Amino acid sequence: MKNLRIVSLLFLVLLVLILPFFFRSNQYGMILLTTILLYGVLATAWNIIGGMAGQLDLAAGAYLGLGAFTTGTLLLRFNLTPWIGIFVGGLVAVLFAILVGLPLFRFKVKEVWYALSSSALVEVLRIAFIMWEKIGGPVERYLPSYGSALYMRFSSYIPYYYIMVILLFASLFVNYWISRSKLGYYLIALGDDEDAAEVLGVNVRSSKLKALVIYAFIVGLTGGVYACIYGFIHPNFFSSPLSTEVAILGIVGGMGITYGPLVGAVLLVSMRELLRANLGGQLESLYLVIYSVVLILIVLFRPRGITTLLQDTFNKVFSRWVRNNHAE
């Protein structure tokens, strides 16, 4: 069983690495893959604060936008390459997370109210950046040096795909590492029952803050790459739909399961994009109608996540396979 797991894991890694060679001439396919991975990274990072710590964070767009604006502005104003800029972006997102997280966790804003205040945060930043004409403003700011690898402005999607692959493996690894560490056990305990965890000596405030900071850093980093992929920065990067979608992918995929949100992102984002590509022409929003119905159905009938469905099926098939082999 354990060998099988490692083999299938290696197979998946290999598949992810060689996938672009099948899509070499297919620009749309590469965009699709990169988008799926982008959501996969965001949802995997969300798993730390949302899945493990049980804080329904709806502010992914805030950290994403901060990362994008830091990276973009550093490139525009100081000609600093995004290869460094994205890390500065991640740090800015972390700084903001600390600024927000300290009072939030100090005043025990939790559950519904945490979700709502984080959701309001995204809109606050979006409006603030529209009004802040020096950095943002209502018009897109296009990034220079198109086609230069030094400035992370590739003319093809394949390098971006591999950057996303690196980010994905990094955030999966961070997830796995946290879930095995003391912090991970603290988070799972306080996600289940905050008061009980506190009584048992878990430092609830600092554990939550650590989770929020790690999540913000990964999302901020991704935001920098996001700006380079799109080639411009705009206050609409502080997007509420994106923020809720990241959380939904995490929930639908399976909260607290390391690769759950990734599974959710792969299945749902590819479904959404394929629906959009096939139905987009005449009926603009039909794909969103179907997409939301599927979301609701999954949440209603598999509240623990679609990954548990896959696991159950896998276990069933595997045990039957073992039984058949032994029978021979």
Partner 1 sequence: MDAVIQLLVNGALMGCIYALITLGLSLIFGVMNIVNFAHGDLVMISMYMAFWMGSYMGLDASLTPLITFPMLFLLGIGIYYALIDRTLRQKYVTQIAVTVGLMTFLRAVAQLAWKAQPRSLPYSLISGNFQIGSATIMTSRLISALVSVLVIVLVALFLSRTWPGRAIRAVSDDLDASSLVGVNQKATYALAFGLGSALTAIAGGMLMTFQQVDPTMGLRFGLLSWCVLALTGLGSISGLLISGIIVGCAEALAMGFWDPRARLLVVYLIFILVLWLRPRGVFGRK
Rounded to whole angstroms, the Cα distance separating 66 from 224 reads 8
End-to-end CA distance of the chain: 19
Residue with Cβ nearer partner 1 (285 or 319)? 285
Torsion of CA 67, 72, 75, 76, to 10 degrees: -150
For partner 1, the closer of residues 85 and 235 by Cβ is 235
* Cβ at position 35, least distance to partner 1 in Å: 18
* Strand pairing category for 141-142 and 232-233: antiparallel
Closest approach, Cβ 286 to partner 1, in A, equals: 6
**Contacting residues toward partner 1, per CB under 8 A:** 50, 54, 56, 103-104, 107-109, 111-113, 115-117, 119-121, 123-124, 127-128, 130-131, 240-241, 244, 247-248, 251-252, 255, 283-286, 288-289, 291-293, 295-296, 299-300, 303
Burial class (CB in 10 A: 0-12, 13-18, 19+), 55: buried
CA distances (Å), 242 to each of 78, 190, 324, 326, in order?
29, 27, 46, 49
Q: C-beta of 76: minimal distance to partner 1 in Å? A: 23
Give the HSE-up count for residue 118: Cα atoms under 13 Å, Cβ half-sphere.
29
CB nearer partner 1, residue 21 or residue 301:
301
CB of 50 to partner 1, least distance (A): 8
Closest separation between CB of residue 121 and partner 1, Å? 7
> DSSP states of 143-195 as a string?
-S-TTBGGGTB-SSSHHHHHHHHHHHHHHHHHHHHHHHSHHHHHHHHHHH-HH
Looking at beta carbons only, is 74 or 295 nearer to partner 1? 295
Comparison of 91 and 109: residue with beta carbon closer to partner 1: 109
CA–CA dist 204, 106 (Å, integer): 10
Task: Give whichever of 81 and 258 is closer to partner 1, judged by the CB atom.
Answer: 258
Backbone φ and ψ for 142, nearest 5 degrees, come out as -85, 140
Residue 80 vs 95, nearer CB to partner 1: 95
| Tokens, residue 181 | 């560490």
CA separation for the pair 149, 136 (Å, rounded): 25
**Shortest distance (Å) from residue 325 CB to partner 1:** 39
Give least dist CB 229 to partner 1, A.
24
CB of 228: closest distance to partner 1 in angstroms? 27
Contact of 298 with 252, CB cutoff 8 Å = yes
Nearer to partner 1 by Cβ, of 123 and 198: the residue is 123
In angstroms, the CA 97 to CA 209 distance is 8
In whole angstroms, give the CA distance from residue 64 to residue 62.
5
